[in-house]
Amino acid sequence: MSWTEERIERLKTMWAEGMTASQIALALGQVTRNAVIGKVHRLGLSGRVTAVRPERPRAATQPRPAVRVAQAVAPAPVIEEPLEPMPGDPVTVLSLSGAMCKWPLGDPSKPDFRFCGRKSKAGAPYCEHHARMAYQPAQLRRDRDRGRFAG
């Protein structure tokens, strides 16, 4: 499909009327929505007329109930149990089994790249230590991030 002068004029008219790119593509035929968008940008068309939306009738305004502001509650301290020692040799991908921690150690492009290999938590891909690193409570992450970006 080529953009003839006639098709370009139809495109400009429909665009000015506020038709969507999908509607224009359908009306022109043999052209995709993305092709219409690309042509609109190449032509530098802008300032579309948007469809007039009928005003919605508004209900009589009722006083809204007061909103209570939640008070900040300090998170309970997390008590971490000591971890089992790391195995002597972390494991390679070839020796990794389903019950082993799949936490990557090192650079995957290097020959010494390994995985943790500790016993993983039930239903999780990581050992207790790495699960604590991977799955942090949302509130703790928010608190940490606020401190990082403040001032």
Task: Say if 36 falls within a structural domain.
Answer: yes
Is residue 15 included in any domain, yes or no?
A: yes
DSSP H or E segment with residue 114 = strand 114-115
Please indicate, yes or no, whether residues 35 and 92 belong to a single structural domain of this protein: no
CA dihedral 132, 133, 134, 137 (to 10 degrees): 60
CB 44 within 8 Å of CB 38: no
Whether 146 and 93 share a structural domain: yes
* pLDDT at residue number 129: 83
Q: Do 38 and 93 sit in the same domain of this protein?
A: no
Q: What is the pLDDT along the chain (151 residues), one digit of tens a residue?
A: 689 999 999 999 998 888 899 999 999 999 999 999 999 989 988 766 555 566 676 666 666 666 666 565 555 555 555 555 555 568 888 888 888 888 888 888 888 888 888 888 888 888 888 888 787 777 776 777 776 665 5
Residue 65 lies in a domain: no
- Give a yes or no: residue 18 inside a domain: yes
Is 52 within a domain?
A: no
Structural domain of 151? 86-151
Instruction: Report how far residue 118's alpha carbon sits from residue 135's, in angstroms, rounded to the nearest whole number.
Output: 17
Q: Looking at the 3D structure of the chain, how many domains does it have?
A: 2
**Is this model's pTM higher than 0.85 or not?**
no
- Asked if residue 55 belongs to a domain, the reply is no
Domain membership of residue 25 (yes or no) is yes
Q: Tell me, yes or no, whether 51 lies in a domain.
A: no
